[in-house]
Amino acid sequence: MYAGVFADIEGSFGIWRMRQCRMGTREWQYGRSCLTEDVNQVVRGCFDGGATRVLVKDTHEVGFNCLVKELDPRAEYLGGHYVKPSLYGDVTGIDLVLYVAIHAASGTPEAFFPHTHYGVFSQLRLNGSPVSEMDIYGGYLGELGIPIGFVSGEDVAVEQALRTLPWAKSVVVEKDKDTYTSGEKSLQYLEEGRARLRATAADAVRSVSEMRPLLFKGPLRFEAEFRTEELARKYNTWDFPRDGATVSWEAGDMVEGFDKLNRLVFIPRWSYPVRRPMAFAMRSYYRIKNTYFAPEADPEEASLP
């Protein structure tokens, strides 16, 4: 049993404000420790549930957020983004993905740091309906034959994920500041919450036979509604159809649709021929930067063990 623990950051226990998720800040360095502890609990749960191999795939921003030296040594680690064989790199053979610390979709009212894939959208729609990252990523992984069977994060983010992943196990994480700055009460909440991560991850792994790859029947129509028309013009270097602030494209399946989404926001037309060496250079740069040149952590008012 080969489990993939995929990690965002916004839905981590211990995190309550945006700056704790923004790479390069002192508060983010604290947020990294929160994420790493959550990931470790899920890794342990995977092994408790019978996994024989666990890969930690770091996906937030440039993909080097976990404190690698503090990860469970039994897990493999894969940071950064790739072009081939998939955006996530080599995920061949993974039987189940457990997605840690997810957040709500772009346009979700009163959610914590809501966005879908990138923060420039007011909303991302698939065949006319708003979608979250678990729809897009779940469909992409689904076409690779990999189901998502676990999610953790804010209540609304979990609710959105379970609409299309009803078989997934889940853990809800509070995003209120008082939850994490109240001394012993906060420490108890963290201990109990992370224990739920471990137990629920183990349950997901034991239930792998009940999980299904998420598949969307094509043809697929994507609509990316940008926050402003200016942003839509700026990012649309591929000349996809545009109506004001909304850029649209068609795809036969999610792999093709996701590729076009990444071209829209991350791969300008001019850079497409050199996208692989550029991805390698970015992985190398941020691996070194975030490992050896990270700032000191600022936990602000967080209650720490």
List the pLDDT tens digit at each of the 305 positions of the chain. Answer: 999 999 999 999 999 999 999 999 999 999 999 999 999 999 999 999 999 999 999 999 999 999 999 999 999 999 999 998 999 999 999 999 999 999 999 999 999 999 999 999 999 999 999 999 999 999 999 999 999 999 999 999 999 999 999 999 999 999 999 999 999 999 999 999 999 999 999 999 999 999 999 999 999 999 999 999 999 999 999 999 999 999 999 999 999 999 999 999 999 999 999 999 999 999 999 999 999 999 999 999 999 98
Cβ-contact 286, 80 below 8 angstroms: yes
Q: CB count, 10 Å around CB of 305?
A: 6
Task: Look at residues 208, 280, 220, 279 and name the one whose alpha carbon lies nearest to residue 248.
Answer: 220
Phi, psi of 148 (to 5 degrees): -95, 125
Strand pairing of 220-226 and 169-172?
unpaired
Residues 2-119+132-214+273-292: name the CATH superfamily.
Dipeptide transport protein (3.40.50.10780)
Task: Look at residues 34, 110, 39 and name the one whose alpha carbon lies nearest to residue 299.
Answer: 34
User: What's the pTM?
Assistant: 0.97
Cβ-contact 26, 128 below 8 angstroms: no
User: According to CATH, where is 3.40.50.10780 located in the chain?
Assistant: 2-119+132-214+273-292
Q: Based on C-alpha coordinates, what's the Rg of the chain? A: 19
